[in-house]
């Protein structure tokens, strides 16, 4: 019996893990615009410690042992015909190819700010982009971070810790940031920001008309809430202006906001052989399957659908949880859905969390960089 063919559109954090889970039991084809797994996580670390960030969050696909079997196509979907189970992929050189599937997993994520993009890039371009963003942070004497989510808070905290002489201001709508987390989370994180010297500005809603939030640059921010404009050497826009990466998909698959409609089993209601997971999937208002290991669930359900087994349902948590600031000099603080924090000490992050839990356990083996260059 031939193995089923599963196409995974998008190989970011969630899509890559889904491909790893399915690789042993299906012929997997991954379609991606990126040269490797370029994570959307830990914006503050990315801006202030790009080499350390890239060491864990920007790895070529060839480094992942469990991706040896899948076929990885560098391209983007331009059309999909779900009735005949075929899609068309445009490649960077202008050529196209058609891919057929028995099951399709859409994990294309979202575009958000300057750090999540759908541009074709090679490894050198990714490295140059990271270096350029870091240079801008390093040279700035004043930084405005606009936004109230975890990315904004992470950027402000990490920039203040990296450059104590830089004036860092965090502007956010409402009385406090992290409104989708438990209130206890902000109480803990807010104290850390204040100790780092971040100046907090509640109830500031930015005017976004004609503003390019995909750039890092000096600028002036105007407020629709009536406060005087603010200026800085660098403005970091982290306002949550997300757009689903669903160009090329039939509108029948999408909700009114352009996200992929799914049932609790992460299947599209019109086409049960099409699944969606991650930020692009309209699972709940927080689209939380990107952060709750739903990659395992969707992989199980793809196999169950193809083999006639029993599917599981995704139950979204009521609040966001996890790391907010990313690894710090004193370790990694992780928040539970109830806002309680627990900490991995710095030694455990370096010796246990990254090499054992993440690389060996979650990703099923990652080759060292020197071995990667020898391949």
3-class DSSP state of 283: coil
8 A C-beta contact, residue 35 and residue 64 = no
What is the rounded CA–CA span in Å between residue 270 and residue 82?
10
8 A C-beta contact, residue 299 and residue 320 = no
Residues in the chain: 375
8 A C-beta contact, residue 143 and residue 233 = yes
pLDDT surpasses 90 at 265: yes
8 A C-beta contact, residue 280 and residue 110 = yes
> Could you give the count of Cα atoms lying within 13 Å of 47 in the half-sphere of its Cβ?
33
What's residue 228's pLDDT?
97
Domains of the chain: 5-120+242-319 (3.50.50.60), 134-240 (3.50.50.60)
pLDDT digits (tens, 9 = 90+) for 300-354: 999 999 999 999 999 998 889 999 999 999 999 999 999 999 999 999 999 999 9
What is the rounded CA–CA span in Å between residue 294 and residue 315?
9
pLDDT digits (tens, 9 = 90+) for 55-108: 999 999 999 999 999 999 999 999 999 999 999 999 999 999 999 999 999 999
Q: Which H or E run contains 21?
A: helix 13-22
pLDDT digits (tens, 9 = 90+) for 17-38: 999 999 999 999 999 999 999 9
Tokens of 82: 């779900």
8 A C-beta contact, residue 99 and residue 87 = yes
Strands 86-90 and 76-81: antiparallel
What's residue 1's pLDDT?
57
What's residue 11's pLDDT?
96
Question: Residue written as tokens 């891919």?
Answer: 99
pLDDT digits (tens, 9 = 90+) for 174-217: 999 999 999 999 999 999 999 999 999 999 999 998 888 888 99
Q: Which H or E run contains 30?
A: strand 27-32
pTM, full prediction? 0.93
pLDDT digits (tens, 9 = 90+) for 279-305: 999 999 888 998 888 999 999 999 999
């Amino acid at each position: 019996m031939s193995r089923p063919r599963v196409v995974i559109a998008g190989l970011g954090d969630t899509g890559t893990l889904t491909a790893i889970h399915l690789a042993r039991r299906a012929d997997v084809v991954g379609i991606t615009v990126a040269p490797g797994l370029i994570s959307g996580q830990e914006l503050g670390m990315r801006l202030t410690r790009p080499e350390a960030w890239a060491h864990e969050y920007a790895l070529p696909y060839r480094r992942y042992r469990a991706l040896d079997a899948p076929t990885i196509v560098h391209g983007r979907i331009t059309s999909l015909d779900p009735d005949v189970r075929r899609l068309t992929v445009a490649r960077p050189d202008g050529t196209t190819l058609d891919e057929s599937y028995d099951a399709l997993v859409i994990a294309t994520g979202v575009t958000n700010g300057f750090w999540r993009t759908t541009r074709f890039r090679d490894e050198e371009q990714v490295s140059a982009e990271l270096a350029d963003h870091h240079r801008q942070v390093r040279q700035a004497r004043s930084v405005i971070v606009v936004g109230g989510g975890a990315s904004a808070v992470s950027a402000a905290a990490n920039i203040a810790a990296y450059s104590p002489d830089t004036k860092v201001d965090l502007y956010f709508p409402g009385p406090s940031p992290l409104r989708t987390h438990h209130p206890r989370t902000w109480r803990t994180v807010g104290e850390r920001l204040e100790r780092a010297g971040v100046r907090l500005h509640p109830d500031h809603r930015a005017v976004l008309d004609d503003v390019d939030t995909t750039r890092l640059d000096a600028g002036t921010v105007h407020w629709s809430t009536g406060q005087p404009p603010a200026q800085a050497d660098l403005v970091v826009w982290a306002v949550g202006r997300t757009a689903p990466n669903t160009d090329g998909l039939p509108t029948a698959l999408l909700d009114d906001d352009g996200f992929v409609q799914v049932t609790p089993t992460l299947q599209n209601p019109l086409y049960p052989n099409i699944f969606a997971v991650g930020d692009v999937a309209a699972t709940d208002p927080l689209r939380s399957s990107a952060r709750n290991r739903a990659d395992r669930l969707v992989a199980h359900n793809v196999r169950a659908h193809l083999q006639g087994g029993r599917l599981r349902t995704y139950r979204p948590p009521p609040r966001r949880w996890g790391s907010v600031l990313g690894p710090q000099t004193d370790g990694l603080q992780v928040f539970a859905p109830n806002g309680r924090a627990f900490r991995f000490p710095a030694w455990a992050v370096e010796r246990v969390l990254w090499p054992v839990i993440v690389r060996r356990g979650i990703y099923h083996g990652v080759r060292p960089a020197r071995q990667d260059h020898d391949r």
